[in-house]
Homo-oligomer: A and B are copies of this chain.
Amino acid sequence: MTKPVVDLTIVGSIGIDTIETPTEKREEILGGSASYACAAASFFTHTGMVGVVGTDFPKAFIDTWATMNIDLAGLQTVEGKTFRWSGVYHENMDNRDTLSTELNVFETFSPELPEDYKEAPYLFLGNIHPALQLHVLEQVRNPKFVLIDTMDLWINIAKDDLTQVIGKCDMLTLNESESQLYTGKNSLTQAAKELLNLGPEYVLIKKGGNGSMLFTKDDAFLLHAYPLDSFKDPTGAGDTFAGGLMGALAASGKTDKEAIRQAMVYGSITASFGVEEFSLERLTQLDRDEIEIRVEEFKEMCRI
């Protein structure tokens, strides 16, 4: 058997974002969960993107991904406008309001995997409708490790679909408030226990600037976030974290707890770079050596 061309398949949204922070407003920039996650993963492994854009999608954005060596065989271009999102961040950058969401070509999206993606051992089901996540999962032949992400919207309007697909994955990731929304539990350890009962071996709760917590039925792994002096745009930080994690895990070829701890560190550090600028602006300027240097610095900060 020949080695698959792509080690990691990532499906998710691709969007054109308009983002306002307390200090800056940026219009029509490249965004979406698949875009952030693939960019992060591309530092570590050969990554294939599955997503949809409209005929209005700028060629410059496609070039950005191609320059990062992201495989685009799973990218569909269909007649119509690309998915658009706009949001505004509050003073503390912890919270944001969505100003508008236009699904556009995303509304009728049916993700289809190129043949060689179906053989990829690692799969990241980024944040899209859980029915589409399931549709992707069903096309993959023999996945070694599947991570699923989601958002409050799907918990609110498609919880049954979501629950079904979570049960078929190895790891579930969501943020603090989403874990509380799904379970109705304030305590993150209690929420994690309930989510583990849905089937996944790992539950990874993201806490933004306060780090992340990985739970199994037997133990936990606690990871701080790298302390940044300043950052410009937290959009996509969770996708960057998850993409970097899956990229590093795919590169290791492993799926055990120790490998996952190391992969989480790489995901977290990649995300710490990502938020330094809007969109993929920092990630496109980043090289692997910078990641390694910050990883070493970070490990020393966390050493007890």
Contacts and interface: CB of A to CB of B under 8 A. Distances in A.
Contact of A224 (B186, B219, B222, B303): B222
Contacts of A55: none
Quickly give the copy total for this chain. 2
A190 interface: yes
Contact of A304 (B189, B213, B261): B261
A188 to B, nearest CB: 7
A213 B228 CA distance: 12
A220 interface: yes
Interface stretch (A8-16, A164-172, A273-281, A294-302): A294-302
Given A210-B211, A211-B211, A304-B261, A186 B92 contact: yes
B301 A219 contact: yes
A262 B304 contact: yes
Contacts of A223: 224, 304
A189 B229 contact: yes
A255 interface: no
A210 B213 contact: no
Contacts of A211: 210-211, 222, 224
A179 to B, nearest CB: 13
B300 A302 contact: no
B301 A227 contact: no
A81 interface: no
A187 interface: yes
Interface string A109-151: 0000000000000000000000000000000000000000000
B304 A302 contact: yes
A224 B227 contact: no
A91 B156 CA distance: 22
A211 B265 CA distance: 18
Nearest to A300: B219
Contacts of A93: 186
A284 B301 CA distance: 33
A91, A93, A219, A220 interface centre (most CB from chain B within 10 Å): A220
Interface of A: 91-93, 186-190, 207, 210-211, 213, 219-224, 227-230, 261-262, 265, 299-304
28 contacts: A91-B186, A92-B186, A93-B186, A187-B228, A187-B230, A189-B227, A189-B229, A207-B210, A210-B210, A210-B211, A211-B211, A211-B222, A211-B224, A213-B224, A220-B227, A221-B301, A221-B302, A222-B224, A222-B227, A223-B224, A223-B304, A224-B224, A261-B303, A261-B304, A262-B304, A265-B304, A299-B304, A302-B302
